[in-house]
Amino acid sequence: MPVDTDPRVADEALLTLFANGDARAARTLTTRLAPMVLRVAQRMLGDAAEAEDVTQEAMLRLWRQAVDWRHGEAKVSTWLYRVTANLCTDRLRKRHGQALNDDVQPASEATAPTALADLQQKERLFALDAALQDLPDRQRCAVVLRHIEGLDNAEISKVLGVGVRAVESLIARGKRALKAALDGRRDELGYQDD
């Protein structure tokens, strides 16, 4: 079994290897963790180039944290989700000059996967992305972590630094807003056939 898919090898152990100078640990951690950072950043920012920059910055912070990592206190993935969420929030604030929880503008048409726009599934995904971009930052982050990344509410509460009940509320409000945004497009997106 490849190292990066071997569940017996904990991220923390790899981080310790990295802190002791093993370059192979960096590659394995990158393979394992960077894609999830990129996914969240893309959903949060709606911009591929910015998402890549955030991914590089989040991983850089992980490398810097390796020597001082406090084993057993937090999962590496949770720590990285938190860093990613904060980096994205900072960028959104700068982009729109709005306070946390303010609505952000929808993703521009320029970010649409135009080459695949004829495919219904891609259209659905794009519609979902666009609707996600309309959510307030923290609602969007909570929805992405819960329903796209598959984190449980307890872990999301650690990422966002809020209580579990607040997470439940963020997700519930986010899902209601998504439903409201997408309900009017059911026919357009072909959901009448499902």
Partner 1 sequence: MLSASLTARILADAKAIQETEIRSTEARKTPKHRSFRQQMIAVLWGWPGVTGLASAAAAGLWIGVSQPAAIEAFADVYFYGVEGEGGLEMGLAFEILFAEETS
DSSP structural state of residue 8: T
Q: Is 97 in the site for partner 1 (CB under 8 A)?
A: no
Side-chain-side CA neighbours of 84 within 13 Å: the count stands at 32
Q: According to CB under 8 A, which one of 60, 117, 119, 172 is a site residue for partner 1?
A: 60
In the complex, the smallest distance separating the C-beta of residue 68 from partner 1, rounded to whole angstroms, is 8
Q: How far is CA 166 from CA 1, 136, 154, 158, 163, in A?
A: 39, 14, 11, 11, 5
In the complex, the smallest distance separating the C-beta of residue 112 from partner 1, rounded to whole angstroms, is 18
Q: Is 115 in the site for partner 1 (CB under 8 A)?
A: no
CB atoms under 10 Å from CB of 45, counted, come to 23
Q: How far is CA 107 from CA 46, 126, 129, 147, 163, in A?
A: 6, 10, 8, 20, 29
* Residue with smaller CB distance to partner 1, 6 or 90: 6
Q: Is 142 in the site for partner 1 (CB under 8 A)?
A: no
Q: According to CB under 8 A, which one of 40, 66, 85, 88 is a site residue for partner 1?
A: 66
Which residues contribute to the site for partner 1 (CB under 8 A)?
A: 3, 6, 8-10, 12-14, 16-28, 30-31, 34-35, 38, 52, 55-56, 59-60, 63-64, 66-67, 71-72
